[in-house]
Structure 1
Amino acid sequence: MTKTKIATTSDVSTDKVLKTSANGQSVLVAKVGDQYCAVANKCPHLGLPMAKGKFENGVITCPFHGSKFEICTGKNVEWVDSFVGIPLPGAAKKMMAMGKAPTDVANFAVTQDGDDLSIDA
């Protein structure tokens, strides 16, 4: 893997994600507390982009099916609970999941060198 610059510290704020790229791969970067974090901009449910999803308390929500992921770990904290923002009842959640088990999103360790933020990608 190659260390790739993805942003500077001034590009990233604590209240939203920054969409960037590393070696042709779309990446979301955010600041949570004093830590810079990054995940792939690709929900593991159907591979759709998450950049326009709601971001709060260190969690990014897929805008298409409501799956939620910790941006610092990639850990899945909720799996498919809505359709384009409309909450789904239990049986519909199972149908929308299409038999796919809850899965974490790929995450990347962010390194800081001065004001530059990089990941291995």
Structure 2
Amino acid sequence: MAKVKIAATADVSADKVLKTSANGQSLIVAKVGDKYCAIANKCPHFGLPLAKGKFENGVITCPFHGSKFEVCTGKSTEWVDSFVGIPMPDFAKKAIAMGKAPTDVKSFTVSQEGSDLFVEV
């Protein structure tokens, strides 16, 4: 595994995610409390990017289908809840999920050295 710089601490705020990359893999990094966290910028539902999703309380919401993921763990907390931000009834959620089970997003451990943030990839 290689240690790759992904951002400077000054680039990461507590109210939004920062899109970055490490060895060609797109990531999002965020500050949750006093901790820096990173996950893949790829929703496991259809592989669409998460970076433009709503971020609050350490959770990113997929802007396409409403799935929610903890940014520090990648854990799926809600699976396919909407279609481009429009809430859907339960029967429609199952159709939009297309039989795919809730899946976590790959997470990365973030280390800090001075004002630089790194992940192992």
TM-score between both structures, scaled by the size of structure 1: 0.99
**Structure 1 residue 34: deviation in Å?**
0.2
Q: Which residue of 2 aligns with 1:51?
A: 51
> Percent identity at matched positions?
76
SS in 1 for 2:66: coil
Q: Distance in 1 between matches of 2:71 and 2:34?
A: 13
Task: Report runs of 4+ in structure 1 exceeding 3 Å deviation.
Answer: none
Q: Which residue of 2 aligns with 1:66?
A: 66
String of CA shifts for 1:7-56, please: whole Å, max 9, x gaps. Answer: 01001000000000000010000000000000000000000001100000
Structure 1: 5+ residue runs without aligned partners? none
SS in 1 for 2:93: helix
Structure 2: 5+ residue runs without aligned partners? none
Q: Distance in 2 between matches of 1:82 and 1:39?
A: 22
Residues 1:14 and 2:14 are matched in the alignment = yes
Q: Distance in 1 between matches of 2:30 and 2:50?
A: 13
Q: Which residue of 1 aligns with 2:27?
A: 27
Residues 1:109 and 2:106 are matched in the alignment = no
SS in 2 for 1:13: coil
CA-based RMSD of the aligned residues comes to 0.4
**Structure 1 residue 6: deviation in Å?**
0.0
**Structure 1 residue 95: deviation in Å?**
0.4
Q: Distance in 1 between matches of 2:27 and 2:61?
A: 15
TM-score between both structures, scaled by the size of structure 2: 0.99
Q: Which amino acid in structure 2 is aligned with residue 113 of structure 1?
A: E
Q: Distance in 1 between matches of 2:48 and 2:101?
A: 16
Q: Distance in 2 between matches of 1:117 and 1:69?
A: 21
